[in-house]
Amino acid sequence: MLAAAACLAVLSLADAAAGLAWDSGPVARLAMDMSGARDGDGGVRIHVIALAVLLCLCATLPVALPRPAVAALTVTAADAATLGFFHTATFAGLAAQLVAAYRAGRHGAHLAALVIGLPFPVLALAGPATAEFRVRAVLLAALVPAAALAGAARRARAEALESSTVRQAMAGTLLENTARGERARIARELHDVVAHHISMIAVQAETARLATPGMPDAGAKRLLDIGDTARAALTEMRRLLGVLREDTRRPEARAAERRPQPGLVQLLDLLDEARDVSGTAARLIVQGPPDPLDPGVELAAYRIVQESLTNARRHAPGAAVDVELHYTGVALRVRGRDNGPGGPASPASGGHGLLGMRERATAVGGEVRAGPAAGGGYLVEASLPTGTGPGTGRPAAPEGPR
């Protein structure tokens, strides 16, 4: 913009110089009128030339100013003064005036765009009746508001396009969130209901094959096939759940996945949370010197305790819970016992329950048993190998499933 303003200034000065060199030009006429003689007074002529140069510069160079309103007002004042003093205006000054008016409208300087259009109709009506003056004044009176309106229209179109883009982005985000929520719902349904039933089919088929005495080989083969098919279906479903969950993960979920997995150090926080939620007592009892554990074993123990607390809160509300960690040197025994009624509870509550605890314990080479405890309440006991010695030790079997 600065280069364009400099070019306009040079053209305006060249136009004014040509008018000064021509004796009948407006600048020369003004100099002669002010000196009172045709030859003119040298001092007056110099002042007139200096005024013409100053007005030419003020009518063009301010176009490069960063504030469109200031630029438009400065250029308008210079052009109005040029018309008032010399009864003419350079073509470069006319072009600079239109550019300044367009910029004022384009950048939302509405007051400045209104003000710069006022002087030229007044000058066109009140100025001399010469053809040169009338043509330039009428052109400015007509074209300056048109340029300002063109700039305002361009700004309005740009704002409308930006608003439309924002609306489309919001609609796309809403659609994506809706689809993500639906996929998450489907994943929950598959995990909590279908996957559990398929795993139960596999377990029951295997149990029936092993526990039914005198079963023919064909029947045992059929049950074995049923179990294998159910396990294969469960594997495929887990694969599908992985795809669905990958699609539904939000940035905050991905950030949560990058956090360290909880371990036994976080058990106190877990118990504090259980107390806050249920308003009942929850104690942690540690026996034996703590052994360094594999992170997988610590995670399994943490999740088993977490599920035990959830199970107690859901099926024995108000019951106190004791959590015990017993380091035996070869295994970590985890016990969670509440003093509730010890009645039966679904092992698939919420899609987790006892089945999830058993899976976690099996994954690290341990086992879990659960059922009503002797003397009342419900007991969950897990034995997880520490890897510091041979054998793992097994928990005593409670009386029955919950």
Query: Which H, E and C letters describe 85-115, residue by residue?
Result: HHCCCCHHHHHHHHHHHHHHHHCCCHHHHHH
Higher pLDDT, 56 or 186: 56
Q: With cut-offs at 50, 70 and 90, classify the pLDDT of residue 347.
A: very low
Residue 19, pLDDT score:
60
Fold of 264-385: Heat Shock Protein 90 (3.30.565)
Sequence-separated contacts (24+) of 119-125 with Cβ below 8 Å: 119/76, 119/80, 120/79, 120/80, 120/83, 120/144, 123/80, 123/83, 123/84
Contact in structure between 8 and 92 (CB atoms under 8 Å): yes
> In the chain, pLDDT over 90 holds for what percent of residues?
9
Residue 184, pLDDT score:
74
Q: Which of 32-36, 106-110, 378-382 has the lowest mean pLDDT?
A: 32-36
pLDDT digits over 367-388, tens only? 999 888 888 888 999 999 986 5
Residue 327, pLDDT score:
92
Nearest to 132 by CA among 77, 96, 97, 87: 87
The yes-or-no verdict on residue 395 having pLDDT over 70 is no
In angstroms, the CA 77 to CA 57 distance is 12
The yes-or-no verdict on residue 34 having pLDDT over 70 is no
Residue 389, pLDDT score:
46
What count of Cα atoms within 13 Å lies in the side-chain half-sphere of residue 178? 6
Q: Using CB atoms within 10 A of its CB, is residue 319 exposed (0-12), middle (13-18) or buried (19+)?
A: buried
Residue 352, pLDDT score:
46
> In the chain, pLDDT over 70 holds for what percent of residues?
78
Residue 87, pLDDT score:
74
287 phi, psi to nearest 5 deg:
-125, 140
Nearest to 368 by CA among 310, 308, 321: 308
DSSP H or E segment with residue 385: strand 378-385
- 346 Cβ neighbours under 8 A, 6+ residues apart: 353
The residue type of 84 is G
In angstroms, the CA 45 to CA 35 distance is 8
Higher pLDDT, 363 or 399: 363
Mean pLDDT of all residues in 216-243? 82
Give the residue extent of every domain in the chain: 2-158, 174-257, 264-385
Q: What is the dihedral of CA 316, 375, 334, 313, to 10 degrees?
A: 10
In angstroms, the CA 242 to CA 244 distance is 6
Nearest to 400 by CA among 318, 344, 338, 334: 344
For 9, 15, 44, 256, 354, the CA distances from 2, given in Å and listed in that order, are 11, 20, 33, 53, 77
Residue 54, pLDDT score:
85
The yes-or-no verdict on residue 101 having pLDDT over 50 is yes
Residue 189, pLDDT score:
67
In angstroms, the CA 54 to CA 13 distance is 9
Residue 368, pLDDT score:
92
Mean pLDDT of all residues in 133-152? 87
Nearest to 340 by CA among 323, 324, 320: 320
pLDDT digits over 245-264, tens only? 665 555 544 444 445 667 88
Residue 333, pLDDT score:
94
Mean pLDDT of all residues in 43-48? 65
DSSP string, 194-260: IHHHHHHHHHHHHHHHHHSTT--HHHHHHHHHHHHHHHHHHHHHHHHHHHHHHHH--HHHHHHHTSP
Residue 27, pLDDT score:
52
The yes-or-no verdict on residue 170 having pLDDT over 90 is no
The residue assigned the tokens 């040298």 is 42
Sequence-separated contacts (24+) of 153-156 with Cβ below 8 Å: 153/105, 154/105, 154/106, 155/105, 155/106, 155/107, 155/108
Task: For the chain, give the mean pLDDT.
Answer: 77
